[in-house]
Amino acid sequence: MNKTKYVIYDDGSFKLFDETQAHSEQRQSSNNIISAAFINIYVAKNQPGRVLVDCYGESISLRMKARPEDNKIIAKGLGLYDPWSDEPLKFY
């Protein structure tokens, strides 16, 4: 199973990409990378319909680790977070 990687830029944007690419290859001239690691996006087993984001691990090429706030940043960017309740969305 392939792992998915991510980087988050200093402007709040992010990029998801395949494990065959290095985190360091995702640099942009206009934005600095502030976080980089791996990500899982999955349906919670104990909460049917709830899609969760789990950022974990670290980028060796950038020497950065997943931060606790990365989960919410990416979930909000993917439309998987309810801004009203501040909870992950449920899809029925």
Q: Tell me, what's the pLDDT at 22?
A: 95
Q: How many structural domains comprise the chain?
A: 1
Query: Which pTM was predicted?
Result: 0.87
Report yes or no: 80 and 88 within 8 Å, Cβ to Cβ: yes
Residues of the domain holding 21:
4-88
Place of tokens 């979930």: 75
Report yes or no: 35 and 17 within 8 Å, Cβ to Cβ: no
13-69: per-residue pLDDT in tens? 999 999 999 999 999 877 899 999 999 999 888 887 888 899 999 999 999 999 999
> What's the CA gap between 7 and 10, in Å, rounded?
10
| pLDDT(1) > 70 | no
> What's the CA gap between 48 and 61, in Å, rounded?
36
